[in-house]
Structure 1
Amino acid sequence: MKNSKQEIFWTIRDYTPEHREQLRHIYLESRKLAFPWVDADSLKLEDFDSSIQEEEVLVAVEDDVPIGFIAWWLPDNFIHSLFIDPKFVGKGIGKSLLDACLERTGRPATLKCLQANKNALEFYFSQGWEIISDGESPDGDFYLLGIDYKS
């Protein structure tokens, strides 16, 4: 796919173990930026491994180099993670990954987003996601968001 704002070409692929090391770094750096209230020393490269365990994962790659990923729990159509390399945010990659995920999972689908993560909330709302409910977690208050969801 091509982003008209800048000449970036990427493809969406199934995750393979060869993607792991680069995605670990993307996951770590993205979380440091998205969650400044979390102690950065508590975030580890290995967190990626447990975050995608038993999940379906798609990867956005440019020239065979991962630049983002989405992971979801298929039995519930629940999107667990969507992270883009900070150098590529705002280029349409998140939308492409989200669309590709929804093509595979079908709808309705849900995800949780921390209320303090204003950029992520703005993105999801722009894609048609709506607040279903709210709740509390150790990481902070969150919204349960849904798309094509009837409560």
Structure 2
Amino acid sequence: MHVRTTHHWALRPATPEDLEAIVELRAVVMRPDLVRLGRYDEDRVRRRMRDSYVPEHTSVIVVEDRFAGSVTLRPHQDGHWLESFFIDEKVQGRGIGSAVLSALLARTDSEGVPVRLDVLQGSAARRLHERHGFVLEREDPVDVFMVRRPVRPS
């Protein structure tokens, strides 16, 4: 994957050395929703990231030359699975999440494949994904599973 940049952010390929920064960011970003759902476990939130980390499908989000987040776009069946999309709270609200998501979705649209993801029930992330064309596929008491079909240029 090549590096994408704008005047505010860049994506670079993740390395094994990025794991601990991503693990800690995940623990901080997910804590409010997990606590609200009664599912927060200090060890499990970190272990799940360590167990699922695949650097070759993960990008690090860099803002002002600093680690600011991560996103994984993993091949899955007929398309991709979007996961581990975390942005440091210090840079949230600047449109970076939307810009990163737009860049990734332009790539999957060019491939003509759907993208799936899941968010926690009540998560603000759901609104971001809905603005980018994701729709409800199914849900349970904890997770909301969403899909976005490829958009064809007109």
Give the TM-score, by structure 1 length.
0.75
The percentage of aligned residue pairs carrying the same residue is 21
Check 1:104–1:15 CA distance in 2 against 1; reply closer, same or farther (3 A cut): farther
Q: Describe the SS at the equivalent of 1:113.
A: strand
- Is residue 80–residue 113 contact of structure 2 (8 Å, CA) maintained in 1? yes
Query: What amino acid does structure 2 have at the position aligned with 1:26?
Result: L
Check 1:117–1:147 CA distance in 2 against 1; reply closer, same or farther (3 A cut): farther
Q: How many residues align?
A: 140
Give the TM-score, by structure 2 length.
0.73
Pairing 1:1-151 to 2, within 5 Å after superposition: 1-2=6-7, 9-36=8-35, 37=37, 38-53=39-54, 56-75=57-76, 76-105=79-108, 106-114=111-119, 116-131=121-136, 133-136=137-140, 140-148=142-150
Query: What amino acid does structure 1 have at the position aligned with 2:139?
Result: G
Deviation at 1:69, TM superposition (A): 0.9
Q: Deviation per CA, 1:37-68, whole angstroms, max 9, x where unpaired? A: 22243544343222323760111113442111
Unaligned runs of 5+ in 2: 1-5
Check 1:118–1:44 CA distance in 2 against 1; reply closer, same or farther (3 A cut): closer
Output the aligned Cα RMSD: 2.6
